[in-house]
A and B are shown apart, each in its own frame.
Chain A
Amino acid sequence: MVNPAYQFVQRVCGRAGALIAEREITDFRPLAEDVAFAAVLEGRLANDGKWGAASVEPFFEEEKLAGVTVRRASQQKSYRTAVFADNAWAILLAAQGMDDEDNVEEKLTFTWELQLRLRDPEAQKKRLRAAITYAPFPLTADTVAGLGIAAEGRQTDIWVSSKLLEELRQSAVANLDRERAHFLTGRLLQEGGRGVVVLSGSIAAEVESGSSAVHFGFSPQTFAAARQEAQRRNDGLTVLAWAHNHPPPCRRDCLAVVPACKSDNVFFSVADRGVHRAGFSAPYAVALVAGKAAGRRADDPEFRAYGWRDGVIVEKNFYTF
């Protein structure tokens, strides 16, 4: 229970201000984990998982709801309403029955706002009792240098082994007409007050999954099978990330275009953000996207990395080793 008294409802309205759809925001987990992870990295909280549940309180500016303050153990952090912008897109897409391909940005101008509503106390009384145990963050005692990585002044939160990147590159090149996805395994380090992810292994997302040229579907069993495979390997690596490719719009015909065109298909779509929010809400979780970049051939894909920063999914730089 994040707030027993209030519901936070996100309302998406059209150009004329008419309500298109609204939905209660329930996934405060990325924020709750962000509060704990930042405190652990800065030594304000022990990495023992004994943080308890988070509480979420509204804060106001000029009598208007401006954001939420998330409290966990003795820690707290405030987030402006902009952290929920991704949700607005997802609500809109669901309400309109559209997907990313429909390019809703061009078709619709919309606004969104967060509203506070009182909860029904009677409904709360009927909830089941639930005690949650939180696992510590999978931080290891390794260091970037200790893993043999020559940082040479390069600053990043994400290192990817050359071997793994080559494996993902080959997968993207072999699948110019179909999306493929992998769970990525590695080590989570604590360096200079930051969390650093070092990725070196992969598990193909194959169990009960489905794909086309424009989507990759993860079933619950896909996730469960990845966890089981990571446990079976027992190689000291943890699932910390996922990767997938975006085939070019003209599929394999793309290779016949000389010189390579200016289309760029390496981005993190609304649907991709939904996968990251639902399956990879840990503050250190990373996503890699491979695809055709402007001026490059489809068989020479570019990779971009995305991850959490202060509760928002942003593009991040990464280096190989």
Chain B
Amino acid sequence: MATLSLEVTDWNRSNIAELPDVPSDMMVRDLIEEVEQAMSLPRDTYHLIAGGEKLNRAATLEEAGIESGEELTIAPEVSAGA
């Protein structure tokens, strides 16, 4: 198992999280939870984006093709409504 060094920014770049030792077999959903916790974000609302694509929460980072040094974006999936 490799260890990845990742940078995760929120959508408007007001917070940047540097995570120096992320296991490559970590599930995407678990990384999202770590970043939500570190950035004090509401739970179960966010996704990670890499290269413009939303990552599958059920995949590992390795399966999602994430490499060390990559910059990811965390952004919410939300609905406004009347």
List the interface of chain A (C-beta within 8 A of B): 1-2, 23-24, 26-29, 32, 54, 99-101, 127-135, 179, 181, 213-221, 223-224, 226-227, 239, 244, 246-247, 265, 269, 271-272, 274-275, 277-279, 282, 291
Contact = CB atoms under 8 A, between A and B. Distances in A.
A221 B19 contact: no
A217 B79 contact: yes
Contacts of B20: 129, 131
A239 B13 CA distance: 11
A265 B82 CA distance: 8
Contact of A224 (B21, B75, B82): B75
A226 B15 CA distance: 17
B34 A29 contact: no
Contacts of B82: 100-101, 179, 213-215, 246-247, 265, 269, 291
Contact of B73 (A220, A274, A277, A282): A220
Interface string B14-50: 1111111110000000010011111111110111110
B80 interface: yes
A207 B31 CA distance: 25
B80 A26 contact: no
Contacts of A28: 40
A282 B14 contact: yes
Contacts of B11: 220, 223-224, 226-227, 279
Interface string B39-66: 1111101111100101000000000000
Centre residue among A2, A274, A282, A291 by max chain B CB count within 10 A: A274
A133 B81 contact: no
Given A26-B37, A131-B17, A134-B15, A220 B43 contact: no
26 contacts: A1-B37, A1-B38, A27-B42, A28-B40, A29-B41, A127-B34, A128-B21, A129-B21, A135-B13, A213-B82, A215-B79, A215-B82, A217-B78, A217-B79, A218-B79, A220-B76, A221-B75, A223-B12, A226-B11, A239-B12, A246-B82, A247-B82, A274-B78, A274-B79, A278-B78, A282-B14
Contacts, number: 148
Nearest to B42: A27
Interface of B: 11-22, 31, 34-43, 45-49, 52, 54, 73-82
A2 B81 contact: no
A277 B40 CA distance: 11
B53 to A, nearest CB: 8
B4 to A, nearest CB: 11
Given A26-B36, A29-B40, 17 more contacts: A1-B38, A32-B40, A99-B81, A127-B34, A130-B38, A133-B16, A213-B82, A217-B79, A219-B47, A220-B47, A220-B49, A221-B75, A224-B52, A224-B75, A226-B11, A227-B13, A271-B81
Contact of B17 (A101, A130, A179, A221): A130
Contact of B78 (A2, A26, A132, A279): A279
Given A26-B40, A27-B40, A129-B20, A100 B77 contact: no
